[in-house]
Amino acid sequence: QHLPEGADCQICAIYRNNRLIVPTPQTVIIEGDEVLFAADISSVNIIMRELRPKEARTRRIMIAGGGNIGYRLAKQLESKYDIKIVEHNPRRAEWLAENLDNTLVLQGSATDETLLDEEYIDEIDVFCALTNDDENNIMSSLLAKNLGAKRVVTIVNRSSYVDLLEGNKIDIVVSPHLITIGSILAHIRRGDIVAVHPLRRGTAEAIEVVVHGDKNTSSIVGRRISGIKWPGDCYIAAIVRAETGEVIMGHHTDTIVQDGDHIIFFVSRRRVLPELEKLIQVKMGFFG
């Protein structure tokens, strides 16, 4: 109810102390809540400013690990930010220095407290641990945070580590494994599923589907959102019109679903996915 005027969004779920809360218009968001929401891209920054305290603009970034990910990130950001990259391997550090135009390359270990102090870690806005070693990433991130880095981002390959780290001193934990799972699931799921994004370490999902047909061949197309019997634990986040690109939030329940609409669902329990897949499938008459 208290979102800024003109910033339409759908708050899909709130996790409070690892407990799911399905929000209503009267739900009060408190400090520490994990809020999952959908919004048109033009509204995201407005909503983020409302949900998070004001922060100084990011200017200084330190990257631990000059592998493929670290190099590509530095290459993409170095024209807009002050970038430092720490690489343990001397030959790789030399290569990075030759191939990066506006990045300071440091040869050493990101778990070296002296090195971090000398490079003014307490003035770093974002510290990114991107090596191939999970333990190294975790330790360097914790050290950087303790020494004053404002935000830390850590990549971990073991998805089981994500549960242990999120919500603690490490601000953002990225698991390539879970991201890859999402792209694979989009191919093996039945129906017109365009994208699958695992959430909450894979216990929940955001799913984008395309619906086809009409009232005779589809259980969804031609019907109001409010008139469709959705599976439990499955919530519409938004609808994107195929022809116009118009984004309609799920709380506009009088919206009539049209052929070709992209519907984004939030599914809080994966066990309901077979029901959702069945619901979005067209009937045999559609092909005749």
Of 266, 282, 269, give the one whose Cα is nearest residue 192.
282
Residue 287 has pLDDT above 70, yes or no: no
Average pLDDT, integer, range 24-50: 82
| All residues at 6 or more sequence positions from 150 whose CB lies less than 8 Å from its CB, including other chains | 55, 124, 125, 126
pLDDT score recorded for residue 214: 87
Which CATH architecture best describes the domain 60-174? Answer: 3-Layer(aba) Sandwich (3.40)
Same fold flag, 60-174 and 179-287: no
Average pLDDT, integer, range 75-100: 96
pLDDT score recorded for residue 187: 44
Indicate the domain borders of the chain: 9-51, 60-174, 179-287
pTM for this entry: 0.60
Average pLDDT, integer, range 84-100: 97
Residue entry with tokens 């986040």: 237
Mean residue pLDDT of the chain comes to: 83
pLDDT confidence bin for 75, thresholds 50/70/90: very high
Locate all alpha helices (DSSP H) within the chain, ordered by sequence: 41-51, 68-77, 90-99, 113-118, 134-146, 159-165, 176-188, 273-280
Higher pLDDT, 57 or 59: 59
Strand order in the sheet with 9-16: 19-21, 9-16, 34-39
Percent of the chain's residues with pLDDT above 90? 39
pLDDT confidence bin for 185, thresholds 50/70/90: very low
Of 122, 133, 183, 188, give the one whose Cα is nearest residue 161.
133
What top-level class would CATH report for the domain 179-287? alpha beta
The pLDDT tens digits for 232-246 are 888 889 999 988 888
DSSP string, 208-227: EEE----TTT-SSTTSBGGG
